[in-house]
């Protein structure tokens, strides 16, 4: 699996409760995935948040996939 998300997803204890954020900004992986789950497209998200990139959104997917994989592995 591609680990490039590690350069895009950051954790800071004092920012958004330590939740995973994109490039140190205040937008979380959860925020982006929620917008996508609600039916927004990448272009719509980037239009609303012009400081985000397509690569940032892809990093959210990769982070979520890695987290799911690690949760599955730890439950075996």
Read out DSSP for 34-62? HHHHTT--HHHHHHHSTT--HHHHHHHHH
Q: Is the pLDDT of residue 20 over 90?
A: yes
Number of structural domains in the chain: 1
The confidence score (pLDDT) of residue 2 equals 64
The confidence score (pLDDT) of residue 35 equals 98
User: What is the CATH number for 22?
Assistant: 1.10.10.10
Q: Is the pLDDT of residue 69 over 70?
A: yes
Q: Is the pLDDT of residue 23 over 70?
A: yes
Q: Is the pLDDT of residue 36 over 60?
A: yes
**Owning domain of residue 52:** 4-75
Dist. CA 66–CA 2, nearest whole Å: 9
The SS3 assignment for 68 reads: helix
Mean of pLDDT values over 47-69: 95
- Residue-wise over 19-35: b if at least 16 C-beta within 10 A, else e? ebbbeeeebbbebbeeb
Q: Is the pLDDT of residue 58 over 90?
A: yes
The confidence score (pLDDT) of residue 21 equals 97
Dist. CA 75–CA 58, nearest whole Å: 26
């Amino acid at each position: 699996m591609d680990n490039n998300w590690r350069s895009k997803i950051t954790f800071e204890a004092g920012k958004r409760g330590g939740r995973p954020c994109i490039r140190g900004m205040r937008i979380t992986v959860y925020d982006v995935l929620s917008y996508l789950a609600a039916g927004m497209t990448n272009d719509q998200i980037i239009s609303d948040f012009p400081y985000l990139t397509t690569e940032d959104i892809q990093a959210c997917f990769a982070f979520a996939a890695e987290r799911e994989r690690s949760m599955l592995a730890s439950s075996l």
